[in-house]
Chains A and B, each alone.
Chain A
Amino acid sequence: MGKKALYGLLTLLLARCLLAQVRFDLNLKKIQEEASQLAPCSPWKNQPFLCYLIPALSPIRRLPDALPSDGIIDNKLWLVGAKGEFLTGSFLLAPWKEVRQLEVKASSLTRKNEPGEKTNQIIPAQNVDIRVVKVWWQTGTGWGSYFGDPTRRQLIPELLLHDENLIKVDLEKKENYLRVDYPKASQYVWISAPPEVDDGKFNHHQEPVEDSPHLLSVKLQPGENKQFWLTIKVPEKTVSGIYEGKINLVADSLPAGTIAIQLKVLPFCLPEPRTYYDVKKPFYSFMYNHCSLFTHLAENHGNRPLAEQKLRSELKNMREHNLFQYLQRSVRLFNTQNKEIFVRNLELVKEAGFSPPLFDAFVSSGSFWFPPEQTEIYQQYLKDASEALRLIKKILGHREVYFFGFDEPGRKILLAERQGWKDLEVLGARIFSTARTTSHFPLVGYAEHFVNCPENKRESAEKWHILGHKIASYAVPHTGPENPDLVRRMHGLVLYKANFDGTGNYKYYDQHKIWNDFASYQFRGFNMVYPTRTGVIDTIQWEGFRAGIDDIRYATVLKTLAEKAIASERVEAVYTGKKALIWLEMLDEAKTDLDAARLEMVEYILRLRKLLGEKE
């Protein structure tokens, strides 16, 4: 390398370092200014950082060098939630001093007794999970889109980690590295290389990548904010009331303040979501995925225990994030895919506690793959379809299953599928197909019991409901955008209010580009979560998804109570029920602050419960 080039390179590196430093210097100045204005009694007065309480599921991208415009410097975190619900909260520490080891630990939460009460109710500390929000480099379109754009890099908060060092982020070079813990030594693997040198393939089935099961100590640098994510699982049998606990912060072995948690547990559980247009009909939530024993065994050279451990953990994670239905990748014929594995997969699905129906499971495009005039193989296909129905009934205890058609079929394929659909209907199976309302409804709508459309408008839903059929939504947008508010909104109240029957988005995690967001010019990784060898790592958008479905569950409680109130024939209750329905209908779900909408729903629910004399 010539001297000039070397000097040039050094200058560039220095400039980069300085730029990164300047970025944090500016933020540091702001932190110091804020700190200097703290009241003498502020709990953060003499601590090495300021603590901002912030809305967790915000559309605002939280960056390490920007103080939150919607944050409040405080030490009281207020949460409101139902029994059995997963609640999220968040705080951001803005350090003005280096902390090499910050320990963050939550206590259990104890119920504040009413005068005269002597209960000893607690929510144990293990139900309170704290994780660091890892900010890393993603493509230029990362916050709001699933389209690939490796030509630009921006910092995006995304991963929820117990061990922040699982990912190393190089701010100067704008690169990400993933730690792989090999038996001999750990190694950081470059996961932000451009598509010219990396196709993003990474065998998560075999590479030893795991997050820590609990929060490890974190490091704070002056001027570099760090966001923390709190998840509280309220046990279903918790007695309602206010629970108090705290989060203790210890900086380099010295107490560095506490954050009080005030949790109001509401006197009801959330039911499974139901549709807006008919509170008796379920709103389905499922997601395309590659999580099956078939896939895991194929990728891990047939390691059955590992495959089952991984699948169990994924199914649990899906259930805990409000996927109530399971989409099991379909089998075409039992002779090419082992029946025993099909059965075992179903057993694990049952164990995870999914509700009916089962989606996919067996292809419904049989007459396309095996034209009926090919009698022998087509009859075999129908026989296997029938066998699949029998096995589903035997293992899951129901026959509610939608067999999946050809994905995004064109006209020719659709026409070829019709005979098979007819024959399957005779067998008692129902058909599930990706569709566009404009083209499918007039052509084959009569046979498609459940369509999954890249749409979210009421006009679409109305058409399918005329036939008594159901419509779910995908691809508006696909998974990938990290903005949790967008994910919450688009999978939640937007679909609900559009009278859709469910959400069935693509997909849980990408099977091609797992960790490298820059590995393609076409699409980013379709990741709600990131797969590890034995499980998954959550993201803030995945938490957004859970909240979106919870919004629908709250709306379901609200609508159920409103209808009950209207049926009570007591004017006060009738009026309140109708007011609640008017409010819900007038709510602009595309634009509203969803946290505000949630609290408003709770307000109506409590009012209606009181009027109806509902007991806990």
Chain B
Amino acid sequence: MKQLGRYLFWGWFLTSSWVFAQNYQQLIRSAEINLRKKEYSGAKEAAHQAREKAQTEEEKQAATLVIAKVLTEMGQKEEAKKEYQKILQSSISTVSQQAEALMGLAKILREERRYESAREYLARIFSLTVDEKIKNKALTDFLFTWSESENLAGLKEAVENLSQRKQADWPNYQVHLFTEAGRILSSYRDWTVRDYKTSRRYYRQILSLPGVSSEVLLNAWLAIAGSYVAEGHLPAARKALSEALHLKELQPLHKATILREMAKTFTGENDYQSAREALFRALQLERLTDGTKGNILAEIANSFYKEGNLEKMAETVAQLLKLSGANDRDKINQLLLLGNLHWEKKDYQAAAQTYGQVLQVRNAGKNDKQEAYNRMAQVYLLMREIAKARACLEEMGKLPDLTEEQKILLSLKIAGTYGAEDNWQEMEKIIKGVEKENKQLLTAQLIETFWKAGQFFMNSRDYPVVEAFLKRANWFRASSLKEYLCRFVPQAPVGVGGWVQSELVKDKKNREARFYNYDIKSAALLLATDVSAQRPFPEEPTKEKRGETAFYMCYDRQGWHIYVQSDEPRIEQITLENGRGASSLEMFFMPGENKEYYYQWIIKLATGEVNVYNYHSPHRYFHPLENTPGNFQTQTAVIPTGWGTTIFIPWECFYDCLPFLSGNETTWRFSMQRWDPAGNITWGGRVHETGRWGLIRWEIPPEQEKQNILRYLIRKAWYKYQASRDAAVDYWSCSERGDKEFYQHYLQPEITRLDLSGQQLTEIDTWPGEKLESFLKEIVPKWMEFTYQIEGLRKEYLSKKHFSGK
């Protein structure tokens, strides 16, 4: 009963507190807290209530200010402006409130890119009697508007004007003006137009101001040096720092800062010895705190690391660790680096010990400890001290506040340690447990966690464990490829118009539109770096609706036909603008599933420009596609819904791998991408990613039609051969141009043999399928590749000639 009573009491107390909390002060505080937490609706409500409950006009103004700020954050700019205006128009509002309102209004105007108006508001603050900090902030914002409007010339002009002004009630006005203007010029986001020279001129003007403190002077010199460093002019930076060293009334800490900056300039020149000399000088200064000494020792240790000087680095780190007041961050960073150096030098024992020291550092955080445990575990794995590795990971599991993802990854790593000692059963058990307990995880997250676990064991070279994790990840990955059935038709449609009107397009079963978004990031990277492909430059995606893309395929006696329908809602505008912003198609295929070569072409839809790329060198077993009549052909035309594109590839290019003949690969890899400002899409995988393209399956044609295709090809080969033969005879049999001996002893006998095969063609219409197929296999390659045959014979003839003594 006592317990129940306690609950009831606290329940009543808390509820009544909430009720009591609804006075002005608490509401305004609640509004401010929510604003900071970015819980805007709560903030807005509390601020409105506060304004209602305000007892005085001043309180009302304060609430209005909070409301205006909340509205600004919520993007309700017009409402916010009205609230700010209320403050400005009120005679009751304080000067500080007016300054804040002016600043708030200027912020909105800057977001709206109305910089001139923003500056007007900010400039009004300069003459208000408010705290110098507020004025400084207003001046910074004022100057920054020039940077935001990408008008550095305007900034410089403004600085010239402002520097003429007298601001008696603003003691550091000019210091602040030159410092901020210099900073903007030397750190402007487009580094190609940064103006270091002017920034230094501003900093130097600070040096000439009367009555400024030595600290201000020092900062000006450091800024000058920093600007030289940013520019890459390190000796000049050093010179500026030397000047700074001569300032009067410098504290040891200031001198140390200068010397450390000087050391950085030497490090930038890979002159570690001089860098250390400067740092040792700094170390000798009196009255430095342990924190500063620690910073300096860390920088010295780092220079030894860069030189691979393990011994000296270890000595320096030992010194650093002895400094009780040194910054723990310095200690941790240097211990991790030292551990890495031991690892590089294959001294795993020392590496493990060094990482272990991170755990002893007083304020080592969770992430530091995780890092240390991870690395210790990895070196123990390399030492094959697997139990120790596991113990490290288990200790890591005891760290507080690990996220769920970290815990899962850790469990997988622990599982992996069992795998590393061949206890696969235990590994499997843990993994299954992890999967069972984390069913809420998205598949992608789970896969990624398996990969991360795999990466961990890559470092320790426990490859079977990595493979086990990869295999596990692959279980969850979709692996099926898209397929399209390419049907036989007696006669494919001719041209874009033919396709648009054809039954093939009308019949939905032939339509393939299962495209998906291309992985933008990697595509962008590839487009940016693949200089040889004539793709359009990547454009900013438009917000317009993307037209659908679909393809249709069929084959007939002549070859393979593809029709692509690229719907384009912007077609009218694109044609008006002579093709600006039009899509392009990138297409790939491999005549089989396991060939070492593939083909690619890119079609710019607006211009019809085609570039073909053959990923192999031409020879008798590889036939390049050529964008010429009789070979690869495309046509693009405007159709009512966008663009229509036909592609035709004749069977001659693939007479030796016809997909509908037994013994050949019956599935071909194929993919296409459409590059479009409204969003890029792919039918399968990324460009050149042959393993993720889709598959084209080929319908077996009726026997008679198959025979017709073979007869057509055989006849084509015969005519091609005759043309090559006649040209060869004409050339080689000519005693002036050719080589009669070669002709008589090498070429003519071969021609006689091949001609003889041709004589059989008179009866080709009566040949059964088997004979056609064997003829295609035996004779057609010789006819088709007769030019290579001649070169082979010529090579043999000339080689022998060298050794025959002729």
Interfacial residues of chain B within 604-656, with CB under 8 A of chain A in the complex: 615-619, 621-622, 624
CB distance from A59 to the nearest CB of B (A): 5
Query: Is B256 in contact with chain A by the CB < 8 A criterion?
Result: no
Question: Which listed residue (B270, B596, B597) contacts A337, Cβ 8 A?
Answer: B270
B803 touches A78 (CB 8 A): yes
- Over the window 459-498 of chain A, the binary record of Cβ atoms lying under 8 Å from chain B Cβ atoms (1 yes, 0 no) is 0000000000000000111100101011001100000000
In the bound complex, residues from chain A placing their C-beta under 8 Å from that of B344 are: 206
Residue of A nearest to B228 (CB): A377
Contact between chains at B798 and A145 (CB < 8 Å): no
Query: With A336-B232, A475-B531 in contact, is A376–B197 under 8 Å at CB?
Result: yes
Q: Is A592 an interface residue (CB 8 A)?
A: yes
A198, B469: Cα distance in complex, Å: 13
Rounded to whole angstroms, the CA-CA distance of A425 and B65 in the bound complex is 62
Asked whether, in the complex, the Cβ of B619 is within 8 Å of the Cβ of A141, the reply is no
**CA separation between A412 and B192, bound complex, in Å?**
10
The smallest C-beta distance from B191 to any residue of chain A, in angstroms, reads 9
Is B721 located at the chain interface by the 8 A CB criterion? Answer: no
B123 to chain A minimum Cβ distance, whole angstroms, is 29
Other-chain residue from B196, B269, B529, B617 in contact with A489 (beta carbon distance below 8 A): B617
Among candidates A336, A380, A475, residue contacting B268 with C-beta atoms closer than 8 Å: A336
Q: Are A151 and B691 in contact (CB under 8 A)?
A: yes
CB-defined contacts of A145 to chain B, threshold 8 Å: 598, 615, 688
- Min C-beta distance of A146 to chain B, whole Å: 9
User: Which residues of A have CB within 8 Å of B470?
Assistant: 193-194, 196-197
Stretch at the interface among A37-45, A315-323, A365-373, A557-565: A365-373
Q: What's the least CB distance linking A394 to chain B, in Å?
A: 22
In the complex, whether B657 has a CB less than 8 A from a CB of chain A is: no
A167 to chain B, nearest CB (A): 15
- List A contacts of B691 (CB < 8 A): 140, 149-152
- A242 interfacial contact with B, CB 8 Å: yes
Whether the Cβ atoms of B454 and A593 lie closer than 8 Å is: no
Contact of A522 among B228, B424, B526 (CB under 8 A): B526
Query: Which one, B234, B307, B788, contacts A593 given CB within 8 A?
Result: B788
8 Å CB interface, A280-308 against B? 300-303
> Closest chain B residue to A455 by CB distance?
B532
SS class, residues of chain A in contact with chain B: loop
- CA–CA, A513 to B216, complex, Å? 49
A-B contact count (CB 8 A): 195
Chain B residue nearest to A410 (CB atoms) is B537
* Shortest beta-carbon distance from B587 to chain A in Å: 15
Query: Given contacts A141-B690, A151-B689, are A522 and B458 in contact (CB under 8 A)?
Result: no
Interface set, chain A 324-339, CB cutoff 8 A to B = 332-333, 335-338
- Interface membership of B113, Cβ < 8 A: no
**Cβ of A197 and Cβ of B458 under 8 Å apart?**
yes
A377 with B231: in contact, given A151-B685, A151-B692, A197-B451 (CB under 8 Å)?
A: yes
Chain B residue numbers with a CB within 8 Å of A522 are 522, 525-526, 529
A242 and B530 CA atoms in complex are apart in Å by: 48
Binary per-residue interface labels of chain A (364-403) against chain B in the complex, 1 for a CB within 8 Å, 0 otherwise: 0000111101111100100000000000000000000000
A144 and B428 contact, Cβ closer than 8 Å, known pairs A152-B690, A336-B269, A596-B795 = no
A182 to B345, CA, bound (A): 11
By the criterion CB–CB under 8 Å, are B798 and A599 in contact? yes
Smallest CB–CB gap between A27 and chain B, Å? 16
Q: A196-B451, A197-B458 are in contact. Are A485 and B619 (CB under 8 A)?
A: yes
Contact A380 B233 (CB under 8 A): yes
Q: Are A198 and B458 in contact (CB under 8 A)?
A: yes
- 8 Å CB interface, B267-314 against A: 268-271, 306-309
Known: A60-B619, A336-B269, A486-B616. A377 touches B232 (CB 8 A): yes
Q: In the bound complex, do residue A148 and residue B803 qualify as a contact, i.e. CB atoms below 8 Å apart?
A: no
Taken together as a complex, chains A and B put the C-alpha atoms of A264 and B306 apart, in Å, by 54
Asked if A278 CB lies within 8 Å of chain B CBs, one says: no
Which residues of A sit under 8 angstroms from B529, Cβ to Cβ?
A: 522-523
Q: Would A196 and B473 be within 8 Å (CB), given that A338-B269, A592-B791 are in contact?
A: yes
Q: Which 6 A-B pairs have the closest CB atoms?
A: A301-B308, A151-B691, A147-B688, A144-B615, A152-B691, A143-B596
A-B contact pairs, 5 of them (CB 8 A): A69-B621, A144-B596, A150-B691, A376-B233, A521-B686
Residues of A within 8 A of B (CB): 1, 58-61, 69, 78, 80, 140-145, 147-152, 154, 156, 182, 187, 189-190, 193-194, 196-198, 206, 242, 262, 264, 300-303, 332-333, 335-338, 368-371, 373-377, 380, 408, 412-413, 416, 434, 436, 454, 475-478, 481, 483, 485-486, 489-490, 521-523, 579, 590-593, 595-596, 599-600, 602-603
Interfacial residues, chain B to chain A (CB-CB below 8 A): 192-193, 195-197, 228, 231-236, 268-271, 306-309, 344, 346, 424-425, 428, 451, 454-455, 458, 461, 463, 466, 469-470, 473, 522, 525-526, 529-532, 594, 596-598, 615-619, 621-622, 624, 685-692, 737, 787-788, 791-792, 794-795, 798-799, 801-803
